[in-house]
Amino acid sequence: MKVLLVGEYNRSHRYLKEGLLSLGHDAVVVGLDDGFKKINVDIEISQKFRLGLLKKVRSLLIKLFNVDLHFLQVKKQLLKNKKQLSSYDVVQFINESSFLCLPEDEKKIFDLLSRWNSKIFLLSCGTDYPSVKFAMEKKFRYSILTPYFEGRVKPADFSLGLKYLTPGFVKLHHHIYDNSVGVISSDLDYYLPLTGHKKHLGMIPHVINVDSITYMEPVIKDKIIIFHGINRSNYYKKGNDIFEAALDLIKTKYENKITIIQVENLPYKDYITTFDTAHILLDQVYAYDQGYNALEAMAKGKVVFTGAEQEWLDYYQLEEDTVAINALPNAKQIASELEWLIENPEKIIEISKNARQFVETHHNHITNAKLFLKKWA
């Protein structure tokens, strides 16, 4: 089977490609490089009009003439690579807005790639209309919109994904769903909003090439090392402010027992290795399930504070605090969980082993690539 994977987000399509190749299929990833993370794709689409001074020029021309230089550049690059982007058995888009264009232009790109190929599928593994609508209706107990509801984040903050609720993006959503075979969710934060939808083909957990990630059993000689990586553009969305408050509560009390490493806006290749020495990783607060950063850290054997809600425990039939630590939007509770681990370091080793085993079992790139092949058949 020939598969075109459109768009990239934290190596989700890269890992899926590796699984497909291992099974004897052909796969190509085309898309942007996921911003500062600099994710490698096979056919990289430049996004220079979304960066620096050119971004301002782009905004001005959109405002004055409704002309988007970013879209024009994306389309030009796609047309240039038409031969390499045509005649695939399956095309899977990473998101309803895979190229970060205006909705009417995103529709044109979707239609262009659809005309060149056969079956079209959508992956729900990032902010999109169903997940934002679900959050806006407060159907989650807490969500990435909680900081917005609490008045700590302005509606214009792009990380909230509120653009997906605007008329243009709602129209785009329906167009993509109407012209796709179906949509596949990748974790419970996207599975729950799509439950019962006629186009929802079910959930396939995030794909991880576990073979490419070395497990490092925790060795606690002196201090317990806690790692906190910040992406400043979605600081509140990830709950970094709550993690910082939790660290403030424990760092004086345990200054002789812990070391805190905090970094900001690292490219993916640097981020994924910077926390190698850590025992504990603070990932995100406003989630029910784990994303890629958490899963890759768990595969390395880190104890990760992330989404691990009751729905996740029920889905995978797990006991609380055995595989990952549920990071609730409460600094005192997070501090309490950190204290528990500091006072009981043997738990770090136990959870570390369980975390690796969990990723190997439920997120294996070859096993899950087989699941995608069944959905696409």
Same domain (yes/no): 197, 218: no
Same domain (yes/no): 189, 247: no
Q: Residue 151 belongs to a domain with what CATH number? A: 3.40.50.2000
Same domain (yes/no): 164, 255: no
Same domain (yes/no): 182, 220: no
Same domain (yes/no): 164, 66: yes
Distances in whole angstroms, Cα of residue 93 to Cα of each of 48, 118, 205, 353:
22, 13, 16, 34
> Which among 239, 124, 145 has a CA at the least distance from the CA of 193?
124
Helix (H, G, I), strand (E, B) or coil at 144: coil
| Residue 279, token pair as written in the block | 């025992």
**Full residue range of the structural domain in which residue 164 is found:** 2-210+365-376
Same domain (yes/no): 217, 182: no
pLDDT value, residue 208: 97
Q: Show the 3-state SS of 275-329.
A: CCCCCEEECCCCCCCCCHHHHHHHHHCCEEEECCCHHHHHHHCCCCCCCCEECCC
What lies within 8 Å, CB to CB, of 215 at 6+ separation is: 299, 300, 301, 356
CA 261 to chain centre: 22
pLDDT at 36 over 80: no
Same domain (yes/no): 120, 6: yes
Same domain (yes/no): 198, 256: no
Same domain (yes/no): 41, 105: yes
pLDDT in tens, 236-250: 999 999 999 999 999
pLDDT value, residue 51: 85
pLDDT in tens, 178-194: 999 999 999 999 999 99
pLDDT value, residue 371: 98
Same domain (yes/no): 19, 141: yes
Residue 158: pLDDT band (50, 70, 90) is confident
Q: How many domains does the chain have?
A: 2
| Mean pLDDT, residues 111-115 taken together | 98
Same domain (yes/no): 19, 82: yes
- With pLDDT > 70 as the criterion, what percentage of the chain qualifies? 98
Same domain (yes/no): 217, 305: yes
pLDDT in tens, 48-97: 998 889 999 999 999 999 999 999 999 999 999 999 999 999 999 999 99
pLDDT value, residue 37: 54
